[in-house]
Homo-oligomer: A and B are copies of this chain.
Amino acid sequence: MAGNTFGNYFKITTWGESHGEALGVVVDGVPAGLALCEEAIQAFLDRRKPGQSRFSTPRRESDSVRILSGVFEGKSTGTPVSLLVPNTSQRSADYSEIASYYRPGHADYTFDAKYGFRDYRGGGRSSGRETIGRVAGGAVASLFLKELGIRILAYTKSIGPVSIDPQNFREDAILSNPVCMPDPDAAARAEQYLEECMQNRDSAGGVIECLADGVPAGLGEPVFDKLDARLAQAVMSIGAVKAVEIGDGCAAGSSRGSENNDPFCIRHGRIEKKSNHSGGILGGISDGSRILLRAHVKPTPSIFREQETVNRDKEEITVQIKGRHDPVIVPRAVVVVESMTALVLADALLSHMGSRMDHILRFYQREGND
């Protein structure tokens, strides 16, 4: 059991289920002296909040965060930061029917197999609402990293067959379209594709890309806690993610060494790389270049078609799912991928540089100007 804690030095413990009273996270290991307020954290949560577009579940939740501990006079104290987000729109009745059967593509059957007991209300702990804790914790990590000049940016790279054109990359577009694509043209086509999916009572998958700039060389722990290994765990642990790539990722498997190796060079007196096939990680340790990863997200399993399945009495049945569900998970998962990336980086930073904010800043500045 257990499994609801992530990280060793910058450590989050999340709790809460879809239809309980609230969800939350305890963030342990935040260096003392970091400026923290509810507004800054709320900005992250608002990016995953439901009901913001026609591609998002109509469930109405304000997802308002409260800081319950660990902050004194606007700064972290070094002790656990407890964040709480109340559930306000639980309509458990919607789910009473599914108590008896297992929805295809969902965790209903496996939770039952694991626990011999099932909270059938909206998937309980396997609901997408579980990610509230990740995003709230990731917000704190992001604010910490920002203090050090590390910036993480995630966006939708593709939905179904529609991909962004890197030549058309406009960062400011990400937050201004409902699919979180940095390419407005692609976004328009993706929206159209999603409309079709909805008309067909179907759902779509997609790809999320995440970049981290300003990460110093030297983060990550060989052998098993390599930076890419931890990122892989962190991102794969997000529900619906089925593949994780670092740098060239899958493409590396079909390339040649002469193509894949990144030559080192000197720029402005610093060691850099001429290309970045590695995605900023060599031998499991950050190499000072941009860190780049991709998460492949499966289509929402809740579709409003008739589906074959079985019930707890081991009878084959056909079912039609009701309730409130997004036709695509990707746009709302963008900030979740960003959060998990931030958590991994914050953890690796503390491991390398210790736990005192002043020392980290000094260390960081020195290395940064090296």
By beta carbon, the residue of chain B nearest A370 is B113
Contact with B along A3-16 (1 / 0, CB 8 A): 11110111101111
List 29 interface pairs A-B (beta carbons < 8 Å), by A numbering. A1-B350, A2-B8, A2-B10, A3-B223, A5-B11, A13-B28, A13-B80, A33-B117, A72-B124, A77-B118, A77-B119, A105-B282, A107-B283, A109-B271, A109-B282, A110-B217, A110-B220, A113-B216, A114-B218, A202-B257, A205-B255, A226-B236, A239-B283, A242-B248, A243-B244, A244-B244, A253-B298, A266-B310, A352-B355
**Beta-carbon contact of A252 and B1 below 8 Å:** no
Contact with B along A219-239 (1 / 0, CB 8 A): 111111110111111111101
Is the CB of A285 closer than 8 A to any CB of chain B?
A: yes
Residues of B near A234 (CB, < 8 A) are 224, 229
**Beta-carbon contact of A233 and B239 below 8 Å:** no
CA gap between A63 and B83 in the complex, in Å: 19
Select one of B105, B160, B223 contacting A125, CB under 8 A.
B223
**Beta-carbon contact of A229 and B237 below 8 Å:** yes
By beta carbon, the residue of chain B nearest A350 is B1
Is the CB of A22 closer than 8 A to any CB of chain B?
A: yes
Residues of B near A219 (CB, < 8 A) are 114
**Beta-carbon contact of A1 and B221 below 8 Å:** yes
Known: A21-B69, A105-B282, A224-B6. A16 touches B298 (CB 8 A): no
Residues of B near A239 (CB, < 8 A) are 283-284
Residues of B near A249 (CB, < 8 A) are 242-243, 296
**Beta-carbon contact of A299 and B226 below 8 Å:** no
CA gap between A8 and B278 in the complex, in Å: 29
Contact with B along A81-114 (1 / 0, CB 8 A): 1101000000000000000001011110111011
Is the CB of A166 closer than 8 A to any CB of chain B?
A: no
Q: 8 Å CB contacts to B: which residues of A129-144? A: 130, 133
Residues of B near A217 (CB, < 8 A) are 109-110, 113-114
Known: A263-B309, A269-B314. A257 touches B115 (CB 8 A): no
Is the CB of A359 closer than 8 A to any CB of chain B?
A: yes
**Beta-carbon contact of B104 and A263 below 8 Å:** yes
Is the CB of A50 closer than 8 A to any CB of chain B?
A: no
CA gap between A236 and B2 in the complex, in Å: 23
